[in-house]
Amino acid sequence: MSARNLHLWHPFTQEGADPAPLRIRRAEGVYLETDDGGQILDAISSWWVNLHGHAHPAIAAAIAEQAKRLEHVLFAGFSHEPAEELAWRLGKIVPPALQHIFFSDDGSTAVEVALKMAVQFWRNIGRPEKCRIVALEHAYHGDTVGAMSVSDDSAFTDAFGALRLPILRAHSAYCARCPVGRERATCHIECLESLERLLNERGQEIAAVIVEPLLQGAGGMIVHPEEFLSGIRRLTGEHEVLLIADEVLTGFGRTGRMFACDRAGVVPDLLCVAKGLTGGFLPLAATLATDRVYDAFAGPDRSRTFFHGHSYSANPIACAAANANLKIFETEPVFERIAAIEKTHAARLAGFAKHPAVRDVRQIGTVAAIELDVPDAGYLSSLRPLLYNFYLNRGVLLRPLGNVIYLLPPYVITSSQLNFAYEVIQDSLALVSNVPGGTSAMKSQASTAS
């Protein structure tokens, strides 16, 4: 069947501007196989969801088994073994303070749940005036209306100003473009002062601060110092404001620890997980809460109920996939693989840092980013389509965020596969000189990246 007859409307895709979607017929490990038998190295884990490789047999088998036993039952008034096992498995790996788990469908809904829980929490304990949310510059939390509101203004949100909720905005720790003009080597995290001012002036009306801990993803793979995150936790605690950690991207090992918050010794009040939860097989998300938050919703008073749910909340097949996914952390050397990726990233990025087309390189755990120096920096940079097509022609799936190239591979990638992706990126840097006003040094200097 030809894709032309199907009238599929693809996400983040514009017919007439973007190339026709590629048809994929199967996938295994880090490779996608196209209809004509071509292989594409998936260096971004299919939008950051895949952990242990495509079509991992253990997850596939768990899904098949569960589908034969119980495919679905509504989760209001009912429960089931796969959800209970998943609650137990998640409970073992999240901070012990976060033992109340609310299931939803994807990253955006996990964020919606957290925002609504935070606002209702304060209402339920008699402080309804605490209803504003603070989010960071460069944030991305999803595409539903609440999640899009806490995301920063961007090409993604431009059309929807009329729908977005009013949000208070604080600086991000974007060290390569420091919002307060400091240098990381000598700064004292002065970027935190804008949040401190907001909390001092308006803490009485603020319900929560939401952050992507240590790594802002779609905003440009911006890596924050750990002190920035621990500083946010300290300030929110001092000002009686909840901290929502959106670990939709960073969860399940991406940053080198199970959760990014672990790296900074931070325990949030609400934690959002999705993407890697099922190893990239099925949509499933969870928002985890502390006793303090949960207790505000308990009791005989009906008005304290959390009136939120989705048809497929805690779908048993998705929970079975998640259980099989988390078991793989126990049965396979996942953190050894993660350490190997970290090592290759560090070695390769050091070479790119010296390249004249490169403004900054960043890394946290298995995520590496190379920010290129172009005059039209940003998601709609004219360099982006050139890079994207170049990579696909060379058999590598990379989706630069404008002028920011990043790698976020499945953990099963070998060092030779990862090095191959780096070789292709290195070759692509010559494209910068094709962009009007692209780094002039590019024209005279050969590539120095290794």
Contact set with ligand PLP (CB under 6 A): 106-108, 111, 140-142, 212, 217-218, 246, 248-249, 274-275
Closest CA to 415 of 350, 364, 355, 346: 346
Question: In the complex, what is the shortest distance from the CB of residue 107 to ligand PLP, in angstroms, rounded to a whole number?
Answer: 2
CB of 18 to ligand PLP, least distance (A): 19
Choice between 139 and 413, CB closer to ligand PLP: 139
Q: Which is nearer to ligand PLP, 103 or 352 (CB)?
A: 103
**Smallest separation (angstroms) from ligand PLP to the CB of 395:** 24
Please state, in angstroms and rounded to a whole number, the distance separating the CA atoms of residues 66 and 80: 11
Of 216 and 381, which CB lies nearer to ligand PLP in the complex structure?
A: 216
Q: How far apart are CA 259 and CA 95, in angstroms?
A: 9
CB closer to ligand PLP, 49 vs 324: 49
CB atoms inside a 10 Å sphere around CB 137: 18
Q: CB of 144: closest distance to ligand PLP in angstroms? A: 7
**Residue nearest to ligand PLP according to CB distances in the complex:** 107
CB neighbours (10 Å) of residue 413? Answer: 25
User: Are residues 266 and 245 in contact, defined by beta-carbon separation less than 8 angstroms?
Assistant: yes
Minimum CB distance to ligand PLP, residue 151 (Å): 8
86 or 435: whose CB is closer to ligand PLP?
A: 86
CB of 44 to ligand PLP, least distance (A): 11
Q: 137 or 246: whose CB is closer to ligand PLP?
A: 246
Closest to ligand PLP by CB, 274 vs 367, is 274
> First-to-last CA distance in the chain?
44
**Which of the 8 DSSP states describes residue 119?**
H
- Cα separation values, 158 from 15, 135, 388, 443, Å: 19, 17, 23, 35
Angle in degrees, 0-180, between the axes of helices 316-331 and 334-352, rounded to the nearest 10 = 80
Q: Output the smallest distance, CB 274 to ligand PLP, in A.
A: 5
Residue 209's Cβ-side half-sphere holds a number of Cα atoms within 13 Å equal to 33
